[in-house]
A and B are shown apart, each in its own frame.
Chain A
Amino acid sequence: MDVFFAALDVLARWDVMLALVVGSIGGVAIGAIPGVGPAVAIAILLPATFSMDPIVGLTMLLGIYGSSMYGGAIPAILINTPGTAVNALTTYDGFPMTLRGEGRRALSLAYSASFFGGIFSVLCLILLSPVLAKVAPMFGSREIFLAALLGIVLVVTAHKGQMLVAAALSAFGILLSTVGLEPVKYTRRFTFEQTWLASGVDLIVVVLGLFALSQAFLLLTMDDEKIRTPKSRGSLFQGFRELMRHPRVAGISASFGVLMGMIPGVGEFTAQFMSYTSARKLSKSPEAFGHGSSEGLIASETANNAVPAAAMIPLLALGIPGEALTAMMLSVFYVHNVVPGPGLFLYQMDFVVALYLALLILNVLVVGFLLVSTGALVKLTQIPNRFLGMCILLLSFVGVYSIRNSAVDCAIAAVFGLFGYVLKRLNLPIVPIVLGMVLGNIMEVKLRAAMNRVNTPWDFIDRPIAFVLFVLILLIVGSTAWKTWRDWTPADRRSLARKSSARFAKRISGRQTRHFDDRLKIQRRKRTYDHLGS
């Protein structure tokens, strides 16, 4: 109880509350604009938070992180374009509901499901805290190394169909983390005799390039789309009542969100996919999924909103980020000399609980804000692509230049922006590079420390947690290798042509042309936004 009051004391400051309000409202607005996403917003705002108190900066970023998925549901439901990458499944059932004139019902369901997912995961986090406080100190160097390795393995295996490229990009991230002076013998690595490379490649510069600048370039080279928001009926409050009729779907989906959020490298997309699949299996009307099923909408929105709070668990307890957004937050911790890991739970529990409470408050704030401002937020979806690109380019300058007023940093960010653009054009993932950079650094430090106490290879896994992590890694690598071997298709032969022709024949037989057009748009948008903001 003392910790709870101490945490309230941490939060009870005008600047913290302001940061929470600005972060949550800003996050919703950012989420509602397709093509921006929380990664771009957090990347741009990161340097601005360096001059703030750790709790203020983190609360603002947490606000954006936790609330953007609420906002992302708006364009996903109304115009079939996910606001953030993790709202992709929301389009499956949300947009068909909009076509039926039930847009407001779908939005209301999405808000209530998101709210349930958010609150459920924060409560899990609070209940798990005592356990975490006990377990976290049991993680020594070798356990943290193995957990980081597990994160890399999972981020690779999570990219089904692109695992080789994901592994290569993770390795590229690890290589980037080694550039510059190494910290033990102070020898130079891959500096090519360039003094500006001696201090290494800054994570935030890379993140800004890969997420913000590449997105700006992508938008600047896109055509503007004419967006038509259909009329809809219904109350924005009815979703809360409807949610109560599906407690099993909501509970299972939120649990998937929490579980997947806790595992490094997995994240929202897998959580959403697993909860959607299980909801369909358990449903009495599985055929409605993908055609405006309320259960499908609840499953996807509950799961993705349960992830942010859960993703804080490996970050706070072990100092291991689970995905790109928590990797960015890790740098804010380091800038303020707050080192996430077992020590944080032992010595700064009030700070940890304050972050949990901030997450709890932000969910309430966001739902209240959405209920009164959905009409205005819908207009944000109509900002033209290229104009939005100009805005992101301008904001990216602020983000990069304010780190250390270096034109070289801006040039590096521009190069990574162009690289990110190519990756996005090819629909290749960006997250493995960022996680490779962060986890590569952790793995190097922890493995070096662990090897000092290891005489035989068996010593490395002679502790229970290390052994479990090692076995998990072996199982995941083994099962993935087996599955890949069994179902292999050459990388450039995964064309949609065959599947598309089958669907084409099915659709034109006795269907209306209008329906056909709509489905075409659905496919096009899905493909365009596959990795967007991820």
Chain B
Amino acid sequence: MSTESELQARTRVSGQIVFVGAALLVSLVLLSQIPSQTVWIEDAKSFAAQPRFWPAVAIVTMVVTFGLNFWLMKRRRPARADWAEARRWLEPLEYAVWFMVYVFAVPWIGFLPMSIAFAAALTWRLGYRSALYIWLAVAFAVGTVILFKGILGVKIPGAALYELLPDAVRSFALQYL
């Protein structure tokens, strides 16, 4: 086998039809929205200055390329394996929910406490239930907070919960934790 054919990236066969079909459908919906979502200006200096020009170029390319891909596929109906693969795409939804809960909780509970809770809880959920892994997760969370907020000073606001702390600790917590 030649190196070229070995190195060529291969699209996974199962699930491909679901993806291409869905992408084509979305592209067609977007194409139908061009008149309402973009504006045609009468006194534009050139065609390239039309606000509609580039979205139209992009969407037409999407429709043509996804359409060609769909048309060139021999099997245009999803089989059981395709749906099984599509179901796997839903698996990370759980972790996306974990992520969003963490996002919404940080402004209330605080970057440090929430990071520790998030890291420890998710580590436990992932099946690493020994004390070693939980402590490693806690250490990683603390290290992240110290590095990014304490040292690099990234903009993550203090939490509502920190307002309840005594004066001496509060300003420190708001700035560094």
Interface residues of A in 400-425 (CB under 8 A from B): 401-402, 404-405, 407, 410-411, 414, 417-418, 421-422, 425
Residues of chain B contacted by A159 (CB below 8 angstroms):
9
> Which residues in window 1-53 of B have CB below 8 A to A?
1, 3-13, 15-17, 19-20, 23, 27, 30, 33, 37-39, 41, 45-49, 51-52
1/0 contact trace for A417-458 toward B, CB 8 Å?
110011001111100000010001001100110111010000
**What is the bound-complex CA distance between A170 and B59, given in angstroms?**
11
Contacts of A404 in B (CB 8 A): 155
Cβ-based interface call for B57 (8 A): yes
- Whether B37 contacts A405 by the Cβ 8 Å rule is no
Is B75 in contact with A418, judged by CB distance below 8 angstroms? Answer: no
Which residue from B41, B57, B72 sits with its C-beta under 8 Å from A491?
Answer: B72
0/1 per residue, B53-73, Cβ < 8 Å to A? 011011101100110110011
CA distance A338 to B25 in the complex (A): 41
B62 touches A189 (CB 8 A): no
A318 interfacial by beta-carbon distance below 8 Å: no
Q: Annotate B115-153 by CB proximity to A: 1 below 8 A, 0 otherwise.
A: 100110011001110000100110011001000100011
Q: Counting CB contacts under 8 A, is A490 at the interface?
A: yes
B173 within 8 A of A: no
Q: How far is the CA of A428 from the CA of B76 in the complex (A)?
A: 19
Residue of B nearest to A163 (CB): B65
Contact of A161 (CB < 8 Å), options: B10, B13, B48: B10
> How long is the Cα–Cα vector from A494 to B9 in the complex, in angstroms?
11
Identify B96's interface contact among A217, A386, A395, A490, CB under 8 A: A217
Residue pair B102, A174 in contact (C-beta under 8 Å): no
User: When A213-B99, A425-B85, A452-B46 are in contact, do A394 and B140 touch as well, CB less than 8 Å?
Assistant: yes
Task: Name which residue of chain A comes closest to B26, CB basis.
Answer: A172
A428, B11: Cβ atoms closer than 8 Å: yes
Instruction: Tell me if B100 counts as interface (CB < 8 A to partner A).
Output: yes
Tell me if A192 is interfacial: C-beta within 8 Å of chain B: yes
Q: B103, A393: Cβ atoms under 8 Å?
A: no
Give the distance in Å from the alpha carbon of A527 to the alpha carbon of B13 in the complex. Answer: 13
Inter-chain contact B51/A187, CB cutoff 8 Å: yes
CA distance A307 to B120 in the complex (A): 40
Chain A residues within an 8 Å CB radius of B51: 182, 184-185, 187, 189
Contact partners of B49 in chain A: CB under 8 A: 184, 448, 451
A221–B92 contact, CB under 8 A? yes
Report whether A402 and B154 are in contact in the complex, using a CB–CB cutoff of 8 Å.
Answer: yes
Q: How far is the CB of A505 from chain B (nearest CB, A)?
A: 13
- Main SS class of interface, A: helix
Give which listed residue, B48, B69, B99, contacts A410 with CB less than 8 A: B99
| Bound Cα distance from A425 to B90, whole angstroms | 12
Size category, A interface:
35 or more
Enumerate chain B residues within 8 angstroms of A401, measured Cβ to Cβ: 103, 106, 156
Q: Decide if A175 is an interface residue (CB 8 Å cutoff).
A: yes
Residues from chain B with a CB closer than 8 A to the CB of A165 are 11, 20, 65-66, 69
- Of the candidates A191, A290, A440, A447, the one having the most CB atoms from chain B within 10 angstroms of its own CB is A447
Asked whether any CB of chain B lies closer than 8 Å to the CB of A220, the reply is: yes
> Shortest distance in angstroms between A287's beta carbon and chain B's nearest beta carbon?
13
Among A174, A490, A492, residue most surrounded by chain B Cβ atoms (within 10 Å): A492
User: Is B93 on the interface with A (CB-CB < 8 A)?
Assistant: yes
A484 to chain B, nearest CB (A): 11
Report the bound CA distance from A167 to B7 in whole Å. 20
- Please, which residue of chain B has its CB at the minimum distance from the CB of A276? B3
**Interchain nearest-CB distance for A12 vs B (Å):** 22
- Give every chain B residue within 8 A of A397 (Cβ-Cβ): 99, 102-103, 106
**Among residues 191 to 226 in chain A, which have CB atoms less than 8 Å away from a CB atom of chain B?**
191-192, 213, 216-218, 220-221
Whether A451 pairs with B47 at a CB distance below 8 angstroms is: yes
Binds B, one of A128-136, A255-263, A495-503: A495-503
Is A426 touching B11 in the complex (CB atoms < 8 A)? yes
How many Å from the CB of B108 to the closest CB on chain A?
A: 12
The reply to whether A48 and B152 form a contact with Cβ atoms under 8 Å apart is yes
A479 in contact (CB, < 8 A): no
Q: Are A175 and B99 in contact (CB-based, < 8 A)?
A: no
Q: How far is the CA of A89 from the CA of B33 in the complex (A)?
A: 45
Residue pair A451, B46 in contact (C-beta under 8 Å): yes
Tell me whether A491 and B69 are in contact (CB under 8 A).
Answer: yes
Contact of B7 among A89, A425, A494 (CB under 8 A): A89
CA of A395 to CA of B145 in the docked complex: distance in angstroms?
10
How far does the alpha carbon of A277 sit from the alpha carbon of B47 in the complex, in Å?
45
Q: Give chain A residues whose Cβ lies under 8 Å from the Cβ of B9.
A: 159-162, 427, 429, 530-531
In the complex, the chain B residue whose C-beta lies closest to that of A390 is: B122
B16 and A171: CB pair below 8 A? no
Closest chain B residue to A398, Cβ basis = B148
B29: min CB distance to chain A, Å = 11
Query: Chain B residues with Cβ under 8 A from A188's Cβ?
Result: 37, 39
- Indicate if the CB atoms of A167 and B61 lie closer than 8 Å: yes
Whether B91 sits at the interface, judged by CB under 8 Å, is yes
Residue in contact with B100 in the complex, picked from A172, A411, A448, CB distance below 8 Å: A411
A-B CB contact pairs (8 Å), 8 listed: A48-B154, A159-B9, A178-B55, A182-B51, A221-B95, A414-B96, A418-B89, A428-B11
Where the two chains meet, the residues of B that have a C-beta atom closer than 8 Å to any C-beta of A are 1, 3-13, 15-17, 19-20, 23, 27, 30, 33, 37-39, 41, 45-49, 51-52, 54-55, 57-59, 61-62, 65-66, 68-69, 72-75, 85, 88-89, 91-93, 95-96, 98-100, 102-104, 106-107, 115, 118-119, 122-123, 126-128, 133, 136-137, 140-141, 144, 148, 152-157
* Interchain residue pairs A-B with the least CB separation, the first 5: A217-B92, A171-B61, A175-B58, A451-B46, A168-B65
Other A-B pairs, 17, CB within 8 Å; known A165-B11, A178-B58, A221-B92: A161-B9, A168-B69, A171-B61, A171-B65, A172-B58, A187-B38, A190-B38, A220-B95, A386-B126, A387-B137, A390-B122, A390-B123, A394-B118, A398-B148, A398-B154, A417-B92, A427-B11
